[in-house]
Amino acid sequence: MYRDESWFRRIRRKRRLSLIDDDTLREFWHVHVSGLGVFTLLFLLFLLTIGVLSLLIVYTPVRNILPGYSASLRQEIIDESMRIDSLQRTVDLQTQYVGIIRSVVAGEVKSDTVISLDSLQVVMQEQLLEAKNEVTEAFKAEYEERERNNLLLFDAPITVPIFSLYAPAHGAVVSTFAPQEGRHGVTIQTPNKENVCATLDGTVVYVNAEEDETSTVMVLHQTYLSVYRNVGRVLCRIGDTVLTGQTIAIVKDGTPITFELWKQGQEINPEEIIAF
């Protein structure tokens, strides 16, 4: 019946909303409403709710729970507390001043022995700072005992090395450190023409350049000796000073290289101190 009507006419058409007694089937209340009227009523209720909430936020303490208001309120409280504290000190000084005047008038204190108001304030502050009670001493002792262990950390010697070890080459470790099996270092499978870099600042002390790409380079550092075996083309000579991360050789045809690290004649597992 209403299929040919437009959408706007359909939402404006009124419907009858009735309330019927279930026992007697008698209608005891009804109202005529339309879709447009229901939408308008809900929209007005939404606007009314927004308005009431806005008034509550603007004119009531509810705004203090919103972000941004609490910070300003806290600052106001701090300012007022400081102002009250200042006024309290002023009142105390005035009370002391009035007491001194009364003593002078009563003849209890000679007028030339009365200190000025500013001097009285200084004296009062000194007495306050010098005053010690059992609570203060107990808190001081407890704090010193609690922080004693933390303070000892500043006197402890630093055992962590002040240098960092550079990875000799980028690749995957295919053979791990196992001195009991004759492997004094780690074997790294690298891409073709990968750079072999010095792991620390040092001096080149040994170079054995072979044509079959099994060259060996040794670099002496402060307390360490790094050994690079099975490298390809060597780019350094004996006596050269190299920096951390400086290229000292180039891998050819993806040949695995062996890296060893020695300290005072004792081999060290490179994987414990270098991230490959």
Do the Cβ atoms of 234 and 215 come closer than 8 Å? Answer: yes
Q: What is the DSSP string of 105-117?
A: HHTSS-GGGPPPH
Predicted pLDDT at 159 = 45
Do the Cβ atoms of 251 and 235 come closer than 8 Å? Answer: no
Cα dihedral: 207, 210, 212, 218 (round 10): -10
As a whole number, the mean pLDDT across the chain is: 78
pLDDT in tens, 22-47: 888 888 787 877 878 888 889 999 99
Give just the sign of the alpha carbon dihedral 38, 13, 31, 27. negative
Q: What CA–CA distance (Å, rounded) separates 196 from 247?
A: 6
pLDDT in tens, 214-271: 789 999 988 889 999 888 888 888 999 999 889 998 887 778 899 999 988 888 888 8
The 3-state DSSP class for residue 34 equals strand
Residue with tokens 């203060």: 136
pLDDT exceeds cutoff 60 at 121? no
Q: What angle do CA 263, 236, 215 make, to 5 degrees?
A: 75
pLDDT in tens, 256-272: 899 999 988 888 888 88
Max mean pLDDT among 63-67, 194-198, 209-213 falls in: 194-198
The secondary structure of residue 198, as a DSSP letter, is -
- Higher model confidence: residue 201 or residue 276? 201
Find the largest Cα–Cα distance for the chain. Answer: 115
Query: Which domains does the chain possess?
Result: 7-57 (no CATH), 172-272 (2.70.70.10)
pLDDT exceeds cutoff 70 at 188? yes
Summarize the confidence of residues 129-134 as an average pLDDT.
59
- Higher model confidence: residue 44 or residue 102? 44
pLDDT in tens, 157-172: 444 444 568 889 888 8
